[in-house]
A and B are shown apart, each in its own frame.
Chain A
Amino acid sequence: MTGIEIYKHLPKTNCKKCGFPTCLAFAMKVAQKQADISLCPELSEESKQILEAASRPPIRLVSIGGNKRIEVGNEVVLFRHEKTFYHQPGLVIRIKDTEPLEDVTSLVKEITDYSVERVGLKLSLDGFALANESKEAESFANLVEAANSNTDLPLILMSTEPAIMKLALGKVGQNKPLIYAANRDNWQEMAQLALDYQCPLTIFEPRGLSQLAELTEMVGQKGVEDVVLDPGALGFAESVDTLTQLRRLAIKKNYRELGYPVITFPCDNTASVEEEIVLAAQHIAKYAGIIVLDHFSPSAIYPLLTLRLNIYTDPQKPIQVTSGVYPINNPKKTSPLAVTTDFSLTYFSIAGELQSSGSPSWLLVCDTGGLSVLTAWAAGKFNAAKIAKTIKQFDVANNINHQSIIIPGYVAVIKGELEEELPEWEVMVGPREAMDIGRYLKQNWMAHSIPSPLKGEG
C-alpha cells in the first residue's frame, strides 16, 4: 500500500497522538515500514483490519517455545540470491512415548547439550517432537513431563486426540509448545485448545493444498493466528513440488490462507538414516520451517547444521573478519607470519589449524571485502600490492624480528611480484589447504634459519 492509500483510512485529524505532526506524515512513515499502524489510537475498527491485513508479511512469523524459541516464517523470497533467507528452519528430534523413560531422559539431555562450533558460531538442535505413538494418555503425559523437566528447548506435542493433548498442555502449555495437529476431524477442539493455552497450532491436511487452505481458513475464523502447515509431503520430488507451490502461493500470490511456515517429516517414508538426512537437506534448501528427524547421530547432524548455516548465510553480506595481525598461540618475534584473506571461513579454517598445530604464529588478514583466497586473487583484491600495503598498514614489522612471509599455496603465482614489492623479504609458499599448515610449519619453519637482517630482540 502506498502512503496515500494508507492516508485514506486514517482519521485525518492531525491529532499528533501517533508522534507525527500530521496524518499524512504518519501514513508515509507507515508505507516505508518505519512506523507501525498500531501507533494511531483513533483508527476505526474497519480501517484497522484493512491496514493490518495489508501490512501482514506474506508468511507469518510463528514462535514456538518459552525461553528458548524456534522462530520461523517471515520469508520474502523464493531464491536466496534475491535477498536472503531470514529464519533458519528448526531442526527437531522426534521421540515416541513407547520408548522407555530412562532412555528418553538421557537422550533429551544429550540432545539439549549437543553443540558444535563452526566459524566462531555455536550450532545446535532446536527442540523435540514428542509423539503419542501409544495412543494412551498416561504414557504421553509421562513422556512430555520427562522431556520438559530435562530441556529448555521448544517442544512439539504430537497427538490427534484432543483429550490427550489437553492433558499434556496442562503440564507444559505455559512453555508455548507447538500443537500437532488439527485435522479435518478434530480441528474445532484443537483450535479451542490452541486458544485456551495460547499455543501455535499445526494444521495437517494431506489431500491437497485447496483442502489445506480451507481447513486453515476455518481454524483462522475461530481466532487462531499462529499456524504451522503440514501438507503431508513425503517423498523426494513430491515434497519439493509441494513446498515450492506453498512458497510461491505465499510470496508471489500473497495467498493468505497458506501464508504460514511449513513442517516436514523426512523421518517418515525414508528407508534409512542416510535418506532421512538427505531429504532433510533438501528441505533446508527448499522451504521447510520445521524439520522433524527420528535419528540423533552427530555424524549426520553436524553436516546438516553446517548446511543450514550455508544456505541461510546472507548472500549479499559475506561474513567477514576485521583485517589486521592476529596473534595465535602467544607468538614471539621469531614466530612465523602467514597471510590470508578476511573471508570468515578462510580465516577460521587457517586460524583453527594454526591453533591446533600448537605452533605460535602471526596471521595477517588482508581486506578483500570478504572473499576467499582464490576468488580474491581472481578479483584482483589479493595480490602482491595489497599484501605489501597491508604489511605497512598494520606495522607488521613491529611484531616480528624476521622478514619472511608465508603466502597461501593457491596464490603461489604471486611470489615473484611480492618479492618485487618487498625486496627485503623472503616469500615462502605455504600449503594450498589450511589443514596442511601445521605439517608445513614443522617441516619448513622449524628448520628455517631466520634470515637477516635481524631486527630487535626475540
Chain B
Amino acid sequence: MSVLEIPVEKWTGKIQEVRLGGNGRKSIVVGGESTLPFLHFEGSIPNRPAIAIEIQDTEPTDWSPWLLSTWGDAVKSPVTWAKKAVEYGADIIALRLRSAHPEQGNTGAKEAEKVVSEILSAVDLPLIVLGPDVAEKDNEVLLAVSEVARGQRIGLGNCIDKNYRTIAASCLANGHVVIAKTPNDINLAKQLNILLHELGLPLHNILDDTTTGSLGYGLEYSYSVIERLRLACLTGDEMTSAPIICTVGEESWRQKESKVIEGIPPSWGEHEERAITWEALTATSLLTAGASIVVLRHPKTVELIKKISTR
C-alpha cells in the first residue's frame, strides 16, 4: 500500500478581510480565509460567515405570508423591525430602501436619511443599506445615506457598472464599504473590482454580490461562480479577493415554493417548513461554495445557519 499523505494545497492568495461597523458601534470582520470553506486542516479561517437579517423601510406588500406572520407588526416600523432582528441574532442589519423604487413610493434622499439615522441610533449592529436596485435612484438615496452615516462604516449597495463612480467616491469619502453587484459572471465581477480599485478604493472596502440564484432557480450558477472566484483568489488573483455577499432571503422567498398557498401538490410537503428549508439550503450551499455574508429573512433560518457556521 502506498503511503497516505493528506493532500494539502499550497494556496498563495487570501480573501480580503473586510470590516463593517466600528467607531462606537459593534463591528464585524468577514473574509480573511487562506483556504476553501470549512477546510480547517489546510489553512486559516479567522472569521466565521456573517448573517445579515433583511428589513425594509416600508411595510412589504409582496412578502410570503409565513414571513409576515413571523415578524408580525414589526414590519410596520423599520426601527422596531431592526430591534427585533437584533433579538433574533443578526450579525448585521441589511436595510432595503424599497420605498425609493419609482413604482413603490419613489421616496428620495430625505426619507432615506431619516430612516437610516433612526436605525443607526436605535441599534448598534453594523448596517448594510441597499437601494431599490434602479441605478439612478440608488445613486440618489445611497449618496444621502453615505453622508448621514459618515464614519459608521456601513455597506452600501448596489454599485453596478453603470453607477460605480458616484457610489465608490462617496464610500471613499465617508469611510464605507461598497457592495459591487454583477450578473453571475466571474469576469464581470473581477472587472468591476478592478474599476473600483482604479478609482482609489482599497480592496478591503469592497464586498462582491455576484447575484444570487435561489435553490431550484439558478443556484448552481451562483454556486459555481462563487467557487471559481474563491479558487481564483486563492491561486493569487487579488482582484477576485473580495468577500462575497448573497441575498439569499430575497431570492428564495420570492419563489413559488416559498410563497404560493393554493394549488400546491402534496409532494411539496408542509408550507412553512418547506419555505424555511428552501432558504436554509440556498444559504448552506452558497456558504459551502465560499460566500462570506448571507442576507436572510426568516429567524428560524438565521438560527439554523448560525449553528452550522459557528461549528
Contact = CB atoms under 8 A, between A and B. Distances in A.
Interface of A: 79-81, 114-118, 209-210, 213-214, 217, 235-237, 240-241, 244-245, 248-249, 252-253, 255-258, 274-275, 277-279, 281-282, 285-286, 297-304, 306-307, 309-311, 313, 315, 345, 349, 356, 372, 374-375, 378, 433-435
B289 to A, nearest CB: 7
Given A297-B269, A310-B219, A282 B274 contact: no
Interface of B: 1-2, 4-7, 36-41, 183-184, 215-220, 223-224, 227-228, 231, 254-257, 259-260, 263, 265-271, 273-274, 276-278, 280-281, 284-285, 288-289, 300, 304-305, 307-308, 311
Contacts of A315: 220, 224
Nearest to A297: B269
Given A81-B224, A245-B6, A309-B216, 8 more contacts: A80-B227, A240-B38, A240-B39, A282-B308, A298-B266, A303-B281, A307-B215, A435-B256
Contacts of A372: 218
A159 B7 CA distance: 33
A304 B216 CA distance: 10
B215 A79 contact: no
Contact of A237 (B38, B218, B284): B38
Contacts of B278: 303
> Which 5 A-B pairs give the minimum distances between C-beta atoms?
A299-B269, A298-B269, A299-B274, A299-B273, A116-B267
29 contacts: A80-B224, A81-B224, A210-B4, A236-B308, A237-B311, A240-B38, A240-B39, A248-B7, A255-B2, A274-B277, A277-B281, A278-B305, A278-B308, A297-B270, A298-B268, A298-B274, A299-B268, A299-B270, A299-B273, A302-B267, A303-B281, A304-B281, A307-B285, A310-B220, A349-B217, A349-B256, A375-B183, A435-B255, A435-B260
B217 A275 contact: no
B188 to A, nearest CB: 9
B223 A310 contact: yes
A282 to B, nearest CB: 5
A357 to B, nearest CB: 10
B288 A286 contact: yes
Contact of A282 (B254, B266, B288, B304): B288
Nearest to B307: A275
B285 A114 contact: no
A32 to B, nearest CB: 28
Contacts of B41: 241, 245
Contacts of B4: 209-210, 213, 249, 255, 257-258
Nearest to B308: A236
A303 B274 contact: yes
Nearest to A311: B220
Contacts of A274: 276-277, 280, 300, 304
Nearest to B186: A81
B180 to A, nearest CB: 16
A273 B38 CA distance: 22
Select the residue from B5, B7, B39, B259 with max chain A CB neighbours within 10 A: B7
